[in-house]
Structure 1
Amino acid sequence: MAGKSDFTEQEWEQLRKGATGAGLLVSVSDRGFFDSFKEASSLAKHLVGARKDESQLVRELAEQRPTGFGLTASPDEVENETLGALQGSVATLRIKAPDELESYRAFVLELADTAGKAAGGGDQAEAGAVEKIKSALA
């Protein structure tokens, strides 16, 4: 099992940004003021639950505070940086921790799905964001 100590600071930040950015990407794909609060709350609950995951990597990522984006981040910025972070994370995990790759993918997709369902989602914009995340994780 791999954890934070197996990665450089830059690699760890990329793993974190990809994971938390996935939930944020789905959230900003269909912006609604009250929906954003529901989605943020749902993501926070999911992260707390993931602290009991079998994967050490997922547990340690879930224990960290979300990172990477400020309140003023544009949807395009969130999308570009999240997808880039996910692609970089997959490449890093393939080299350093291939046994953790599927756990990371599942964790990221669960975060995205959680955000999509939090506000009664499921619209085309959110589905499109999830498809982009899946593509970046491939």
Structure 2
Amino acid sequence: MIENQYIKIWTEDDIMFGYYKVDEVDLEVANHMITARVEACDGKTYPFLGDVSSVKTITKDARSAFAEGDGIKNMNACALVVGSPVNRLLGNFFLSVSKPTIPTRLFTSQEDALGWLSTFKKENVD
């Protein structure tokens, strides 16, 4: 497990989990989150479940950082769990504007997200 003031990350059953601990994400915060996730991967590729239910705002630069380069490094799929209409709006905006190059979906329940991510388990895990 890796944890900093912005995110808590752990791996369980070949899926990486990330719990976002902040309500505002700018480029600096996004970079701290991305660095922690890449470090937690330790060179392996995982499907990623991000609980973004606490996030209320995210900058354009942060959205771009999450959608490409190190933002998707060592991920073969991404499920984002949203907790409110505001989160859903932010998530849909992220998906429509940033267009991540890995399969990415929004979910309102962790169980549904895990069901979808399970199809990506071990697909590209090194």
Q: TM-score, normalised by structure 2?
A: 0.32
Query: Larger relative contact order (C-alpha < 8 A, sep ≥ 6)?
Result: 1
Choose between structure 1 and 2: higher helix proportion.
1
Choose between structure 1 and 2: higher strand proportion.
2
Q: TM-score, normalised by structure 1?
A: 0.30
From the CA coordinates, give the structure whose radius of gyration is larger: 1
